[in-house]
Structure 1
């Protein structure tokens, strides 16, 4: 098996036979703040827990393999989803035809080491599951395109039956589909779908409807989604959307949601989010669904901001940017065993950075700030890939380690390894699980206070089953003012969900001295739909900014007659310095901006009086705000750069009034050319193109734009045929530049082909030659038809005809056409040689056809090559030169290089040399999501091969090796097929000798995140 022998050097780190592991305890102890290790037993020498913590190996292979997600139950047993068959369609590795397993691991003698394993379920339909949640006798498993519910009716540790809970989520084995479920303090289940989940359907394959009664799909929601539902799968809500790929929702006792999100690989923009309910989180353009890379007004200058559209109105801010990585499982630790710094904080498994860490959070206005505190790292072994973390019933942390040279990305370097660790304070190494009484109200209330979610689930279910008989014991905890606020919150959630009791306890909660409890009361009123507007009215004067945020959110889609005035009162308090609060106000006004903004105008007579009111105008989505938005965008006292945000805001207002106001801006005196161009760009050209004012302005502004891409864009936007002669002139002047092709594409699409043929039929041979060079780069049906007609028509000069025949094969679209013509019987003999000379004989960037794409490699055993390379004395500086020669055309390092494949600035932090070698030699065996090769068939019969990096209703943006891009009209695209082959060429390693390859590996492994 490829790369398997690489792991032999690691076998001394963790003993691979469970019986041996079970007989010893493996611990670290720290004797000082300098983190000097005292190793009591061999086995995990590289793992470094934080000061004050110890670590223990609980289980290792062959007891489990390739763990992807874990859940710890009330008995301290660890349930594991395995992905032995992960991406077998790409990796071509051996698979288990009996399917992947769901394992239950148990420590029967309470020494902290698992000595018993049970296969809970294995079946051929289990195909790389990515999430597991144990809820008593029910086990929920996420495995795209399904969410399965398994039942252990007799509690023997084996599934007795299973049923589909949800389906239709993404494609089979897709990492960006369905992820883990989490039990919330409100009795709800929370889960998320990555950006390839796209939709969710019920067990009968019917569309699942959201809280508004609309189907949950990409027609309404962009990209990845956070959802919640009742335990039986009913009452599904979309809580937030427009993420990329999130692996697990973490929810605290107040009902506040947190999660991480993966960036497009290589862009150092992974993030942590406070999931503001009903918020949109900016992965793609909210209106068009265009990629974050697509040009837009007021684009952010820093990639971590640009990546998530942080300058756009309607995007919830990121809590924390965490750079490069591959964030996975997450939880909120609400136990007391670990040191204070980790209590009540997010704890996160980050396999890309080989670390488990916490994000201590503090309130800041209506939002939060966070820092990073590492819990467990391994600076010596990049195969440490922690993928999930859970709290055990004793309060210790249980961590799953995928243990692999890579970290997902459609690739697994090894199929057989996997580890489970336990982290706990020094001296607390006994894995003693409390005995829970789930039969009495007092026992259930006690269990409700445990750190483990399965324990809390069983307590919740038991308390709800007892009903009013549980209330006295719950009230003891609820009324205990000295108790931990989070424990009181759990009691409150249980009380408000008692039939007929919600209103009583909500009224108590919203008057509580603790703002977090007041928030729970308000959230409970929303969930139960108990006079939400009335509750908001009672709390409207609360000074706490976090409460004000929740009051704004509570008005989301609320139709109460008092809702607009309540919102206006909250909006009038906007300071202009708290983006969290502004976005909460936007969420509250969603779909009701007309009424809400009118109420705001009654309260705030001058909406341009200060930064707070200007931000309301910027965030609004209503015709009522457009006069004020126009004033802000036109304010000559403010530098134009600072007004770009207001021009961008026009894109989020879709009514016809937008263009009317923009049209008026063209009549302003003293307007600058830059200002005029912005106005033209943001208008609806179909609505105002015939306006005399627009036509006059276009005549004035186009001369100043001549020669720029913006010149062609405006001509295309407004369909200005009068500029056709100048488009022809521009194409000849810039014949060898991209603008020449776009100019001629615009010309031919606007009916200007006769200008081209007249030029080619004329006497200016030199200009005609330049024109044909430019025309050969276009590749549209119109341009190819024109070139073919000239090549075949004897009225043209023979040299022009030959040059036309040659030009046909130069474009991505022409490569199919030229093959057909070279073989056609009616092709004129005098241009046949030129056609045959340009018929494709191999793959070409942007123009390869299916037959020319080599099949994916079946993989090579790289063990001996790796040993040979690592035995050499490698030089990173020389490796940098090799990189510049062989990799520079497709990859960037710290901004240098061409932007095509993943950026590699920190690749050495993510991948060890083994995995780097694998990616160089067998690039098709692990293609990162978002960098897959797509074969695009056009309606005109042509074909293009590249990476689709953005797709909207109107455009498909394609990137080719070398970093060049092309916009295709969606209406011209017939189909898009994802290929199994990387555009990175196979055999790249053959272009260098062994020493150069060793030097290249040394250089790549030196590209690490700066501390």
Structure 2
């Protein structure tokens, strides 16, 4: 069995569509529109006619459209209630909640293949509880617009409704305040424009108001080229190519690696912040696959999730200006092309062994992460402030975390905050086989799209009710959706009423549990200036640290009197208070370098982290000595701290290395572990000789030698490839496979310009393998007809025979500890999938070709046909073929490159699989004997 089957595919394509699937025979599931296959007829006795049967009338059971509230598990003391459901809303992609508790919903009825399902375009609807019963009873269409097609973000901030709809970030102004967009009165503006991914999941996501008064948003890795209101143009590309959706504004692959007007190269998905008018955009994180949303808490910490390719979804804090690692730093190569010997998928996919990449956070495996939120205050009680919530649609759960500071980073311990699927029998997600694994079981149909905290202090979760998530599929014709409320048992909602024209009303707004409601108070109090300082300063004593933090941010922007309240907090005994005060004063641009000189000696690694990050664009003569002090306090272990130091040294690495080496360096063989890591992070040409010395020093541990070798691989200097060749030629070097891998990898990218291919030939290190034709075999015309699903399922499989038969699968799949690294690993797939799904995937490999595993056919000029997965294009083009073999094809040898429309997995007729053999393989995978 080859790797392109959806057997265990795990690209988590965010939120997809809804269907109701009904069981049509034991264990066999089909879509709602599919016809139930007839049962085999009982043959009539010989010479007798079968008796006529009256036509049967079968009553159709209405398809479910909601997961009942009593099916959910939540922490003790909380309860789930249905706040709104279809027909009040349909296919919710994102929600926000205004100051009066109305829930605004961005709908995605016209998602992907159903883009023409709804005449007039998609809608923004407003849901209200007009009776105070704790349940919505009214739905109003704010706007329906042909330009809206599955928008993935909505934010309601004062009278502005901000909708994320590629290629534009749109602002609708509800001047009349009647929650209906009237083109004769209200305004529709394009705040920013230039985002790829119209009607694509990896595109423009929602806006969040930060505690600093800035607007935050993000974009997936379909790419963007946009100009902010200050006139700066940003160019963000990546190796991700998904047809027209990644080239609607600018071809993502062609602009990959180009500098933006801010002087930096940004790659893939990114997070940005800006003034509310769209000016002064600043990109603050990049190289995601597709972060669906960001949560910005009142301390200024930013959290997000990111989906996988394959099983390595994650929830992570965002390190300011951090690189998440999904593509190469130049934006040219996907992670699979750079996966090193011995690396597991999470390490390779998020490049956790590459300098310049931030820590990956909580990597939990396959899934489909969506909306995030941070709970700070409200109705849940004193146990819950500091709760990070992350929707995971592929796993029918909203994860909970209480992030704990750990050095310069955070420790994230995950738990299930809300789930319909306590048994964790997942289905319908890409990492489980996509459509092949859908079920009609209600626990698997909860697909949380977004989560918000309301002004009443309750938590609201929008469900895109669906048997399928990911893969751009949309199967449901009911377009169902539900909003659940999570609150204490017996909760009676109370939404504070306030007058934003008064200081008291503005303070009430600032204290709101709802993040975008807080902005209304922030802006008005800021506009009052020093007059409102006493009222805001009073919040510094609030027992809730998040409310106190909001006051710190605001006071820093309220003139000298406000700043005077914040500066003393830099000497607070509380680490978090000092951190927030530093961040707030920096954002207000108050004596930043002088403050850096003071705070660089702070006892908190988190505060020193912020100082390092603030030095990123500060010239070397002003920042070098501060960075030396930061380096001196590195413990040799804290990767977040190390990455912050490296970010602060950006653009001046050589000067910083020269300075720290005088203080911390010395003979290469005597480097401390801390200095070795600092050198790895900076990887400047001046290190080449020392790195070579350390790599060859057999008195060092293998890990220390490997670190030196890896650092050398990132040095851009003609001396670096020669040093690597010398290491490769050394006798008894313990990492021979690794060093040869680096040489073969770098000759096609970072070191190509230094003539590495020629050097390797001269030293006998380039063992050029002849290209091998790997055409996907066609089914012979005289091949026996393959068995049907029903024929296989009618048989009893034998696990022992199945283990022997699995040999044919090991050519492309890992099964237990055996097999080739070409297709998905089948051990977990076998444990989690029903027998019916396993059988269907074997018998119909081209039924659903998973993203990232599509085949490509390359024809060479001398007539060879090579079918496989392209890992990287260019010279050479690297292709992974059946059996896991990599072939490197020089550009001059290629005649044509064509995307294949069928799976690379061999069909059962080619493999010679009988019905019994398939039954045996399925039995073995399900037996639990695979180890």
What TM-score results when the alignment is normalised by the length of structure 1? 0.72
Does the 8 Å contact 2:99/2:517 carry over to 1?
yes
Aligned to 1:223: 268
Change in Cα spacing, 1:926 to 1:666, as seen in structure 2 (3 Å) is closer
**Structure 2 residue 657 is the aligned partner of structure 1 residue 597:** yes
Distance 1:903 1:965 in 2: 18
Structure 1 residues 364-373 or 937-946, which shifts more? 937-946
Aligned to 2:607: 547
Query: How far has the Cα of 1:291 moved from its partner?
Result: 3.3
**Structure 2 residue 875 is the aligned partner of structure 1 residue 951:** no
Query: How far has the Cα of 1:543 moved from its partner?
Result: 1.0
Query: How far has the Cα of 1:47 moved from its partner?
Result: 2.0
**Structure 2 residue 583 is the aligned partner of structure 1 residue 523:** yes
3-state SS in 2 of match to 1:418: coil
Does the 8 Å contact 1:253/1:489 carry over to 2?
yes
**Structure 2 residue 592 is the aligned partner of structure 1 residue 532:** yes
Aligned to 2:98: 73
Distance 1:255 1:1001 in 2: 50
Does the 8 Å contact 1:53/1:423 carry over to 2?
no
Distance 1:876 1:458 in 2: 66
Distance 2:177 2:834 in 1: 43
Change in Cα spacing, 1:907 to 1:140, as seen in structure 2 (3 Å) is farther
Q: CA RMSD in A?
A: 4.6
Change in Cα spacing, 1:971 to 1:399, as seen in structure 2 (3 Å) is farther
1:875-914 equivalences under 5 Å are 884=806, 892=814, 894=816, 899-903=821-825, 905-906=827-828
Does the 8 Å contact 1:406/1:911 carry over to 2?
no
**Structure 2 residue 124 is the aligned partner of structure 1 residue 102:** yes
Query: How far has the Cα of 1:322 moved from its partner?
Result: 1.2
**Structure 2 residue 211 is the aligned partner of structure 1 residue 185:** yes
Change in Cα spacing, 1:3 to 1:435, as seen in structure 2 (3 Å) is closer
3-state SS in 2 of match to 1:118: strand
Distance 2:780 2:795 in 1: 36
Distance 2:913 2:534 in 1: 77
1:225-374 equivalences under 5 Å are 225-265=270-310, 267=311, 269-286=312-329, 289-294=332-337, 299=341, 301-374=343-416
Distance 2:895 2:229 in 1: 32
Aligned to 2:851: 929
**Structure 2 residue 73 is the aligned partner of structure 1 residue 48:** yes
Distance 1:976 1:74 in 2: 55
Aligned to 2:3: none
Question: Structure 1 residue aligned with 2:761, among 701, 720, 726?
Answer: 720
Distance 1:12 1:272 in 2: 37
Distance 2:558 2:861 in 1: 60
Query: How far has the Cα of 1:344 moved from its partner?
Result: 1.0
Distance 1:897 1:179 in 2: 40
**Structure 2 residue 510 is the aligned partner of structure 1 residue 436:** no
Change in Cα spacing, 1:981 to 1:399, as seen in structure 2 (3 Å) is farther
Change in Cα spacing, 1:149 to 1:374, as seen in structure 2 (3 Å) is same
Does the 8 Å contact 2:166/2:203 carry over to 1?
yes
1:336-735 equivalences under 5 Å are 336-379=378-421, 381-478=443-540, 480=541, 483-498=543-558, 503-559=563-619, 561-604=621-664, 606=666, 608-640=670-702, 642-659=704-721, 672=733, 678=739, 716=757, 718=759, 720=761
Structure 1 residues 623-632 or 98-107, which shifts more? 623-632
Q: Which has the higher contact order (CA 8 A, sep 6+)?
A: 2
Distance 1:1002 1:688 in 2: 47
Query: How far has the Cα of 1:4 moved from its partner?
Result: 5.4
Aligned to 2:144: 122
1:956-967 equivalences under 5 Å are 956-960=877-881, 963-967=884-888
Structure 1 residues 443-452 or 504-513, which shifts more? 504-513
Does the 8 Å contact 1:398/1:420 carry over to 2?
no
Query: How far has the Cα of 1:491 moved from its partner?
Result: 1.0
Structure 1 residues 381-390 or 64-73, which shifts more? 64-73
Query: How far has the Cα of 1:596 moved from its partner?
Result: 1.7
Aligned to 2:86: 61
Distance 1:422 1:1009 in 2: 40
Question: Structure 1 residue aligned with 2:177, among 155, 171, 184?
Answer: 155
Change in Cα spacing, 1:45 to 1:614, as seen in structure 2 (3 Å) is same
3-state SS in 1 of match to 2:133: coil
> What do residues 876-928 of structure 1 show as CA deviations (whole Å, max 9, x unaligned)?
96997799599776655556555445545545899889988997898777554
Aligned residues: 826
Distance 1:62 1:971 in 2: 59
Distance 1:562 1:508 in 2: 25
Does the 8 Å contact 2:533/2:561 carry over to 1?
no
Structure 1 residues 887-896 or 419-428, which shifts more? 887-896
Does the 8 Å contact 1:939/1:974 carry over to 2?
yes
Change in Cα spacing, 1:198 to 1:904, as seen in structure 2 (3 Å) is farther
Distance 1:974 1:75 in 2: 63
3-state SS in 1 of match to 2:616: coil
Aligned to 1:803: none
Change in Cα spacing, 1:241 to 1:905, as seen in structure 2 (3 Å) is farther
Change in Cα spacing, 1:213 to 1:295, as seen in structure 2 (3 Å) is closer
Distance 1:688 1:462 in 2: 51
Structure 1 residues 640-649 or 501-510, which shifts more? 501-510
Query: How far has the Cα of 1:159 moved from its partner?
Result: 2.7
Change in Cα spacing, 1:452 to 1:677, as seen in structure 2 (3 Å) is closer
Distance 1:980 1:205 in 2: 43
Structure 1: stretches of 5+ with no match in the other structure: 17-41, 695-713, 728-738, 746-776, 778-809, 816-839, 845-864
* Structure with greater proportional helix content: 1
Query: How far has the Cα of 1:966 moved from its partner?
Result: 3.0
Query: How far has the Cα of 1:841 moved from its partner?
Result: 7.3
Distance 2:275 2:385 in 1: 28
3-state SS in 2 of match to 1:488: helix
Q: Whose radius of gyration is greater, 1 or 2?
A: 1
> What do residues 201-245 of structure 1 show as CA deviations (whole Å, max 9, x unaligned)?
5599983379x9952799922322222111122111111222222
Structure 1 residues 608-617 or 335-344, which shifts more? 335-344
Change in Cα spacing, 1:313 to 1:123, as seen in structure 2 (3 Å) is same
Aligned to 2:251: none
What TM-score results when the alignment is normalised by the length of structure 2? 0.77
Does the 8 Å contact 1:509/1:517 carry over to 2?
yes
Distance 1:665 1:360 in 2: 46
Distance 2:498 2:608 in 1: 39
Distance 2:715 2:594 in 1: 31
Change in Cα spacing, 1:273 to 1:374, as seen in structure 2 (3 Å) is same
Distance 1:874 1:218 in 2: 65
Query: How far has the Cα of 1:330 moved from its partner?
Result: 0.6
Query: How far has the Cα of 1:537 moved from its partner?
Result: 0.8
Distance 1:166 1:633 in 2: 49
Query: How far has the Cα of 1:199 moved from its partner?
Result: 4.1
Does the 8 Å contact 2:370/2:392 carry over to 1?
yes
Does the 8 Å contact 1:394/1:433 carry over to 2?
yes
Does the 8 Å contact 2:608/2:630 carry over to 1?
yes
Does the 8 Å contact 2:19/2:478 carry over to 1?
no
Does the 8 Å contact 1:685/1:717 carry over to 2?
no
